[in-house]
Structure 1
């Protein structure tokens, strides 16, 4: 398996993995193991790859075992939930920084094939994506649906993201999480080497 920045030819494999775990298509009995709420299609992924350089994949042969999306707020603004997050950014601070669309980016969604969960793939993909984005942004921001406790645990415990706010959108409740791209990466490397 190889982790790398996605290419256009990866789009069908990413979409196949996404459909397995997207809230609209996942089997109800599988939702407890995690799900993805943001929906997207091939043209959106093409733009993400070409304009944002923000799609990262774990590929085994021609199959996607996992993906992480990371993008500017301009890219994300097409979805209503992100427009709400953008409006709220100026009221948020994280580790002494007032958040805005220039110093932060939206991380996620992230999706790991069920057969690879707990294998360290999430952490490896996350670190690869964060390293790629850190020269452009100081702060990673994401959200997790409160109805998805597995994702919240993975992001807060495994990845060390901190909850900075909670918000409502539609009929759902969300945690908003953040981390410093550079500082947290250094801290993780120090912990791994000790």
Structure 2
């Protein structure tokens, strides 16, 4: 049975990082990136813990093993991860001073568990656990990551804008 909870232990965070490593482009073949999708950001345990202390990341657990996660990132972390700074800059252009949104900092489901609704349930749980006063989830997807883009559109995200940063095309998306 799969449980969906907010990460509450260092072990949860360490398991997130392990699953993350398996899905970074440097650890995938071109075919895997094309078919399965890929992650962009490689987090440190320190920043993952800081983010989790503010709002617990959402994890899918099977027999206490993390098989999926969605990272919760409050706007206060806009300057914390270099590769995400342009995303926050673009968000600020479209939300114009609002800060009652959660950024989904990264989502990943273990290859062995894809196609079983875990992605959808991670977002459902995230919406349920949004801090009081927060009503929106915003994230971005690398335009080359078609699997991720399709999955996000399927769960109800809509496009806010497209932009280019550091030679990559990005799609900023929102879930209300």
TM over 0.5: yes
Distance in 1 separating the partners of 2:56 and 2:73: 6
Say how many residue pairs are matched: 173
Deviation at 1:99, TM superposition (A): 4.3
Structure with greater Cα Rg: 1
Distance in 1 separating the partners of 2:101 and 2:12: 27
Unaligned stretches of 5+ residues in structure 1: 93-97, 181-194
Unaligned stretches of 5+ residues in structure 2: none
Distance verdict in 2 for CA 1:20–1:174, change over 3 Å:
same
TM-score by length of 1: 0.82
Matching of residues 1-194 of structure 1 within 5 Å:
1-7=2-8, 8-32=10-34, 33-50=36-53, 52-92=54-94, 98-133=95-130, 135-157=132-154, 159-180=155-176
TM-score by length of 2: 0.89
Distance verdict in 2 for CA 1:129–1:103, change over 3 Å:
same
Distance in 2 separating the partners of 1:136 and 1:116: 33
Distance in 2 separating the partners of 1:16 and 1:90: 32
Deviations 1:147-179 (A, max 9, x none): 10000000012x110001001111210111002
